[in-house]
Amino acid sequence: MTRRSTKVAVVLAALAMPGGVVRAQADRYAPVVLQLPATPRAAVLGATTAARDIEAIFSNPAMIGVASGTVVGGARYEAATLLSLASASSLGSFAVAVGAQYLDAHAPGDRLPYWSYALHLGGHQPASSAVGTFALATTWRGIRVGAAAKYVEQRQGALQDGAPSLDLGLAKDLSRMTAGLAVQNIGAGIHFPASSAQLPLRISAGLAAYGYTAGPFDLSGTAGAAVLPDGLLLPAAGLEVGYVPLDGYNFQVRAGIRRPELRAQQPLSFGGSASLDRFSLEYAYEDWVGGGAHRLALRVR
């Protein structure tokens, strides 16, 4: 039996069980795209509430504009593909950003919430989830404040529902550290005729440290935690080591550990990037039950 047919057999066996392994191991919230890191760097660092980069629109809107530019990325699971886009720039005393994510996948059924194991095992129902985001941020009395308006959507088979959502954030620079606090995914849940799921309302706090050196290497990192509506605490931390051999060239390696938000995720991830002037090519590998996720992104600052 081939590897692919073995995975299909696992899905069919789960569906055939009374009470369903699918229900027993179902994830908590929807849409699933809100629970996936947007870029390779975010996938490794894990705690990104205070991360200083373009994809801040997906973690803390107060941090948009700290880094201006555009990042385009994708991730490939065994049976799903994730596409992401974020762009941020300054507009007078404000920073403005737009972002979008789209997950193309399959599901073993048409019930909510989505079964995250299906990203690798697949299923017989076509499924997708998407989010579009617009964010504004400014500085008030030395504190960064920001808000992001989103529209989120989940499709499974012939069923579809969408809802508006809101993110709010604060951040403060502390010497060579930044502290961040964010509340994400404020809004109604996703509802199908026979099932429904909350948005993954998330309260998160984190620290990002940068500007440290060890010999020829530049060091930075993140640490923090998030809390979900069911009280689940999700700590995470990541380390980034950079090396600049020549002016304009920059190489970085990263490693991270987290408590997974989705049931099929595993704690460890690693990756790296190579930069030339304003352009960076990034890669990350995430460990998942049943396989790994490979991520690539192009970043233009």
Q: What is the 3-state secondary structure (H, E, C) of 17-85?
A: CCCCHHHHCCCCCCCHHHHCCCCHHHHHHCCCCCCCCHHHHHCCHHHCCCCCEEEEEEEECCCCEEEEE
pTM of the model: 0.90
Q: Domain total for the chain? A: 1
The overall longest dimension of the chain from CA atoms, in Å, is 64
Pairing of strands 125-140, 69-76: unpaired
Label residue 25 by pLDDT band (50, 70, 90).
Answer: low
* Residue 124 domain boundaries: 3-300
Domain harbouring 111, CATH code = 2.40.160
Per-residue pLDDT tens for 109-151?
A: 888 999 999 999 999 999 999 999 999 999 999 999 999 999 9
User: H helices of the chain, where?
Assistant: 3-16, 21-24, 40-45, 118-121
Greater pLDDT, 135 or 14: 135
